[in-house]
Amino acid sequence: MDARLDYFTSPTAGKVLKHFVSAGRALKDSPLPAATQELVALRVSQINGCAVCIDMHTKEAAVGGETSVRLNLVAAWREATVFTEAERAALALAEEGTRVADAAGGVGDEVWARAAEHYDEEQLTALVVLISFMNAANRLNVIARQPAGGYEPGRFH
């Protein structure tokens, strides 16, 4: 599959995406645990069918020490016993935050309250921004049919 657009050679994309990549780097430095960040990024990307982001975040998570069992079970996190309660709360928030168009009420109070039990305000802020950021990244890649499989860990750090 060939990409519809080459974001790396487009002057417009270059101007915009340098800020986008900077935002992603700032999120990496947030107080939200790195493992949670990768699990959330992976789950959002799975929901949106963004193969290039799935490729990126599984590889980054593995380099960061994440196990293949946990990575393979992210899509079925509700039934899996390998995630902490905090991670489960983050994954639930990620799903509802990604599927806002599917639910008239958006993110439910119960899901928000569960996340707030495990994360302080700064971590919740990072989590919400990460969910939004990943949804934007997924759309950039899915719309332009960016191919997956060739990502090298550390490319955007």
Q: What is the pLDDT of residue 104?
A: 67
Query: Can you read off the two tokens belonging to residue 115?
Result: 């996340």
Contact in structure between 137 and 53 (CB atoms under 8 Å): yes
Tell me how far apart the alpha carbons of residues 120 and 108 are, in angstroms, rounded to a whole number.
Answer: 18
Tell me how far apart the alpha carbons of residues 22 and 11 are, in angstroms, rounded to a whole number.
Answer: 17
Q: What is the pLDDT of residue 156?
A: 65
Tell me how far apart the alpha carbons of residues 155 and 28 are, in angstroms, rounded to a whole number.
Answer: 14
Task: Report, as ranges of residue numbers, the positions in the chain whose pLDDT lies below 50.
Answer: none
Q: What is the pLDDT of residue 148?
A: 87
CATH number of 32-143: 1.20.1290.10
pLDDT digits (tens, 9 = 90+) for 41-58: 999 999 999 999 999 999
